Amino acid sequence: DRQRHDRRVETVLAMLHRYDVIDDAIDLSDVRVKRSLPESLADAQRLSEKLLRDQKKLYALVQYVQEPGDRMQFIHRYFGVPCDETSEDYTAHGSE
């Protein structure tokens, strides 16, 4: 069942097409490479940094879901925005 819903191949092909590495391939037996990967997609340091950023975002999402307190304050802290708990805007949304 997992294989029927596994879209990794389609995702990779779409990405390669978006970066003009391959022609749009409807027939997977006829995929043709047009050019090499752009340097930005082959740069190990850049990819490592992106992976770390993505993991931090995912961890922040998990923290948000598990936040026992006010999630509005969590969002303000995450984005580094001061949170004025007495403001009308905060109290209108803070009780939701």
pLDDT tens, 22-36? 987 677 778 888 999
Please classify residue 24 by burial: count the beta carbons closer than 10 Å to its beta carbon, then call 0-12 exposed, 13-18 middle and 19+ buried. exposed
CA 71, CA 77: separation in Å to the nearest integer?
10
pLDDT attached to residue 26? 73
More confident residue, 26 or 54: 54
More confident residue, 25 or 54: 54
Q: How many CB atoms lie within 10 A of CB 16?
A: 19
- Cβ atoms of residues 22 and 31 within 8 Å: yes
pLDDT of residue 90 exceeding 60: no
pLDDT attached to residue 86? 55
Task: Please state at what angle helix 71-79 crosses helix 44-66, rounded to 10 degrees.
Answer: 160
Place of tokens 């097409």: 17
Select, from the ranges 2-6, 30-34, 69-73, the one with the highest average predicted confidence (pLDDT).
69-73
- Cβ atoms of residues 74 and 63 within 8 Å: yes
pTM exceeds 0.75? no
pLDDT level of residue 7 (50, 70, 90 thresholds): confident
Q: Which two tokens stand for residue 46?
A: 């850049």
Q: Give me the chain's average pLDDT, please.
A: 84
